[in-house]
C-alpha cells in the first residue's frame, strides 16, 4: 500500500479523520532500518485487521545539544515512505521544524530526577526535548497505542511515566532491541561508523553480555564484568570513550535496587559517533548471591 504523506498539521488532521481505530503510532526520526521495521510490524499486529498504523518522521531539534549531529542526522524521507508502505502504514506524518514548533516553546515537559541522570547528565536537555516532542505528537495524532523500542530504554521509561502521570490514556508498547549479525544494536547512527570504528563499537554488546552473565552474583559483579570489557575497548584502535555504564530501575530509570529486574545500560563514543545500548538483567536478593 502507499501511505498518505502528510507534511502539515492540516494534512495530518484530514488524514487522521479517516483512520479506523485502533490507531497505533510509531514515532521515529526517520532513516528507517530493520529495528524500525520491527516496530512497524508490532504496530501492525496491535492495530489488527481493522485498525491503522501512523508513523511520524521528525528530527527533533529540542533533543539535540550544541555540537551534536542535528545537521548531519540522516534524512531519507522517500526511502522511509517506501518502507512504511511495505509494512502496511496508512499515514506518514513528516512535518518540518516550523510546523512542529511555530514558535519557540515556552512550556516543555520536565522529566524529573530520572531525566537528570545517564542520558540526561551527558546530554543536558535531551530528556526534556524527547518528552516535549512526544507529547506534541500524541496531541496531533491522537493514538490509542504508541510503540517504542527497548534500545532507548530511558526514553521508554520516561514516556511510560509521563503517560501515567498526565493521564494521557495511551497504551505504550515496547519492542525488543534488534541487533545486526555482529551484535551491534541497529541504529540510524551506525552508518557513521568506519569499518575500524564498528569493530570497536562491538565491545558494547560484549560488555553487556559479560555483565548479564555475572548478574546472578549481584550488581557489583555485573558492573565490574561490564567495565572490564569496556576498559579493554578503551585501549582499542580507535578507542571507545565511555560516558557511562550503570544499572537502572526499568520503571523509573533511577538507580536500580540491589535485587530484582534492572537495566544494564551503556553509552560511549567511537570516533565522532555516540552509541547507546542496554540489556535487562535480574539481580538476586542478598541471601541468594554466591
* Catalytic residue status for 191: no
Active-site choice (33, 36, 191, 259):
36
Give the pLDDT confidence of 69-109 residue by residue, as tens digits: 999 999 999 999 999 999 999 999 999 999 999 999 999 99
Give the pLDDT confidence of 8-48 residue by residue, as tens digits: 999 999 999 999 999 999 999 999 999 999 999 999 999 99
DSSP state of 55: E
Instruction: Compute the distance between CA of residue 194 and CA of residue 200 in angstroms, rounded to an integer.
Output: 10
What are the cell numbers at 157? 521509561
Other beta carbons less than 10 A from residue 221's beta carbon? 17
How far is CA 217 from each of CA 263, 282, 287, 290, rounded to the nearest angstrom? 15, 10, 11, 6
Give the pLDDT confidence of 220-277 residue by residue, as tens digits: 999 999 999 999 999 999 999 999 999 999 999 999 988 899 999 999 999 999 999 9
Angle at 157 between CA 168 and CA 126, to 5 degrees: 95
Per DSSP, the three-state class of 44 is helix
Amino acid at each position: 500500500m502507499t501511505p498518505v504523506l502528510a507534511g502539515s498539521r492540516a494534512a495530518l488532521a484530514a488524514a487522521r479523520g479517516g483512520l479506523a481505530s485502533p490507531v497505533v503510532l510509531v514515532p521515529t526520526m526517520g532513516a528507517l532500518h530493520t529495528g524500525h521495521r520491527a516496530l512497524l510490524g508490532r504496530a501492525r499486529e496491535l492495530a489488527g485487521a481493522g485498525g491503522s498504523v501512523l508513523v511520524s518522521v521528525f528530527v527533533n531539534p529540542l533533543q539535540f545539544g550544541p555540537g551534536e549531529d542535528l545537521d548531519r542526522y540522516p534524512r531519507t524521507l522517500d526511502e522511509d515512505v517506501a518502507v512504511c508502505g511495505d509494512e502496511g502504514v496508512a499515514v506518514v506524518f513528516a512535518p518540518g521544524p516550523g510546523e512542529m514548533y511555530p514558535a519557540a516553546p515556552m512550556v516543555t515537559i520536565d522529566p524529573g530526577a530520572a531525566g537528570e541522570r545517564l542520558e540526561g547528565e551527558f546530554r543536558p536537555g535531551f530528556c526534556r526535548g524527547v518528552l516535549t516532542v512526544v507529547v506534541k505528537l500524541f496531541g496531533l495524532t491522537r493514538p490509542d497505542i504508541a510503540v517504542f523500542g527497548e534500545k532507548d530504554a530511558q526514553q521508554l521509561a520516561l514516556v511510560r511515566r509521563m503517560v501515567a502521570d498526565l493521564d494521557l490514556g495511551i497504551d505504550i508498547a515496547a519492542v525488543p532491541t534488534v541487533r545486526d549479525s555482529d551484535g551491534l544494536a541497529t541504529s540510524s547512527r551506525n552508518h557513521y561508523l568506519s569499518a575500524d570504528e564498528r569493530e570497536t563499537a562491538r565491545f558494547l554488546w560484549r560488555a553487556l553480555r559479560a555483565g548479564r552473565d555475572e548478574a546472578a552474583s549481584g550488581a557489583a559483579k555485573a558492573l565490574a564484568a561490564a567495565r572490564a570489557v569496556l576498559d579493554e575497548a578503551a585501549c582499542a584502535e580507535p578507542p571507545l570513550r565511555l560516558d557511562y555504564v550503570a544499572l537502572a530501575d526499568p520503571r523509573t530509570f533511577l538507580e536500580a535496587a540491589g535485587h530484582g529486574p534492572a537495566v544494564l545500560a551503556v553509552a560511549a563514543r567511537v570516533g565522532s559517533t555516540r552509541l547507546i545500548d542496554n540489556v535487562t538483567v535480574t539481580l538476586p536478593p542478598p541471601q541468594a548471591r554466591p
